[in-house]
Structure 1
Amino acid sequence: MLLKHQIKLCKSILVNRRCLGTSPASRQSFRKWYQQLWTTERTNLPPYNHFTQIGDPVLRQQAALVPQEHIGGPEIEAIVEQMVKVLRKFDCVGIAAPQIGVSLRIIAMEFKGGIRKTLPETVYQSRQMSELPLTVFINPVLTVTNYTKLKHPEGCMSVRGFSAEVERFEGVKLTGLNQSGAQGELELSGWNARIAQHEMDHLDGKLYTDHMDRSTFACTCWEAVNTKSGRVEIPFYK
């Protein structure tokens, strides 16, 4: 580490001269110090109001169990509230805590009935979609109840602007705790089972791109890119 008088000296002559340490350790300490002179302090911290994107290390971590003594407390309640807020803000059907920058084992799912109006009926039926009220699981555990695999296009708000076909089990059961700490379980099938498997993957540091049929990986707006001569933007905010 630099001595106090060395730091003061470096501060006084930084504008006109270079201040060099006498060892690799001292040079590194000085480098960290002078970078702080112009590096803006990071103020946007988790839980975010947006979705983290592929490449963010938080999406590749094994999320930690929420300690029993914190379930029902204000900190976890605030995280769940933020998850639901972001879920609905971006009109999604599922979200995991790592997607707002929090590496904890929490998921939230919601498939609103109004979504049916936005899809062709043939798509809604073929993908076995059905309404799912807002459901939150803390420290969830997933077990497969129907090993038949269904292959459908799947996207992710953490891989914004792309989709691919992914095989998922047709039926699963989730067990875990709700926001009050009460034990619960839920059996899901079809598209809702897909949502659960997708979100559980996030808790294990996995993305749908790890399971996808790579030949089907596509930009969701490729037609617009051609139509508008490439003048298309993929927003990461809303």
Structure 2
Amino acid sequence: MGHAERQGTIAAQVEELLAVPGPLTIVAAGDPVLRRGAEPFDGQLDPGLLARFVEALRLTMHEAPGVGLAAPQVGVPLRIAVMEDPAPVPEEVRRARGRTPQPFRVLVNPAYEPAGPERVAFYEGCLSVPGYQAVVARPAAVRLTGQDEHGRSFDEVFTGWPARIVQHETDHLDGVLYLDRAELRSLATQQALAERWSQPTAEEAARALGFELP
């Protein structure tokens, strides 16, 4: 299939998704679109369609609710993701996890690299893996490059919870799920997490379930 044909196919797919009002359907683990890796965005959607798609991603993220959503999670294999975190958490959690409010933003063709040697591990979940969370060790700070929805380039360092969000969403664009990086001994249902492991850090869970923290 040629480049123009691929562009037309993805645009038609997005138009079809947007023809149904309301939030988009989030695809779950087991769908190949989550594992293939997404193709770079280079105009497959015209500016008007891109704006409508971004708004649909935002609505879907809010309705889920979540703090990030990548295009492959709604079945679209493009390197586009959105994030927004009002961070409605207790002060103790905010301090332990570095979870600070993040405004809505769009990540187009993002890529990250560690910005320092420190790694931190916390429970993490995914809208495409409903019902569970697991501890994931990730770089505490990352340098993120890419563009916004208007094509403006950015090159920023993210720390704390925002660094975790951008890593998680960029991973989706590479066909990587958080479970690929998780301490599987930490895997917990949402109910078990709420009942046992809601502490600001994962130290108690690590001792009780038998896994290492960085």
Alignment TM class, shorter chain as reference: 0.7 to 0.9
1:96: which partner in 2?
70
| Largest Rg, 1 or 2 | 1
1:5: which partner in 2?
none
The correspondence for 1:199, drawn from 164, 169, 172, is: 169
> Could you say what secondary structure the match of 1:64 adopts?
coil
**Displacement, 1:212?**
0.6
The correspondence for 2:26, drawn from 45, 51, 57, is: 51
Give the superposed CA RMSD. Answer: 2.0
Q: If the length of structure 1 is used for normalisation, what is the TM-score?
A: 0.69
> 1:53·1:158 contact (CA, 8 Å) conserved in 2?
yes
Q: Residues of 2 paired with 1:75 and 1:147: CA distance?
A: 40
1:233: which partner in 2?
none
Trace 1:139-178 onto structure 2 (pairs within 5 A): 139-178=109-148
The change in CA–CA distance for 1:135 and 1:186 in structure 2 (over 3 A counts) is: farther
**Displacement, 1:159?**
0.3
1:92-111, Cα deviation, whole Å (9 max, x unpaired): 11111111111100111111
> 1:143·1:173 contact (CA, 8 Å) conserved in 2?
yes
1:3: which partner in 2?
none
Q: Residues of 1 paired with 2:155 and 2:83: CA distance?
A: 14
1:38: which partner in 2?
none
Q: Residues of 1 paired with 2:193 and 2:143: CA distance?
A: 38
Q: Residues of 1 paired with 2:193 and 2:61: CA distance?
A: 27
Provide structure 2 residue ranges, at least 5 long, that are not aligned to the other structure.
Answer: 1-15, 196-214
2:8: which partner in 1?
none
2:41: which partner in 1?
66
Q: Residues of 2 paired with 1:208 and 1:142: CA distance?
A: 15
1:82: which partner in 2?
56
| Structure 1, 215-224 or 77-86: larger mean CA deviation | 215-224
Does residue 220 in structure 1 map to residue 190 in structure 2? yes
The change in CA–CA distance for 1:187 and 1:223 in structure 2 (over 3 A counts) is: closer
The correspondence for 1:126, drawn from 80, 96, 99, is: 96
The change in CA–CA distance for 1:220 and 1:176 in structure 2 (over 3 A counts) is: same
Identity, in percent, stands at: 35
> Could you say what secondary structure the match of 1:123 adopts?
helix
**Displacement, 1:78?**
2.2
The change in CA–CA distance for 1:223 and 1:144 in structure 2 (over 3 A counts) is: closer
Provide structure 1 residue ranges, at least 5 long, that are not aligned to the other structure.
Answer: 1-44, 226-238
**Displacement, 1:224?**
8.9
**Displacement, 1:143?**
2.2
The correspondence for 1:111, drawn from 85, 98, 113, is: 85
1:162-195, Cα deviation, whole Å (9 max, x unpaired): 0000001011121111111121223210111000
1:64-104, Cα deviation, whole Å (9 max, x unpaired): 0111x446622322221111111111231111111111110
Q: Which amino acid aligns with 1:94?
A: G
> 1:167·1:212 contact (CA, 8 Å) conserved in 2?
yes
The correspondence for 1:188, drawn from 124, 145, 158, is: 158
> Could you say what secondary structure the match of 2:95 adopts?
helix
Q: If the length of structure 2 is used for normalisation, what is the TM-score?
A: 0.76
Q: Residues of 2 paired with 1:223 and 1:63: CA distance?
A: 31
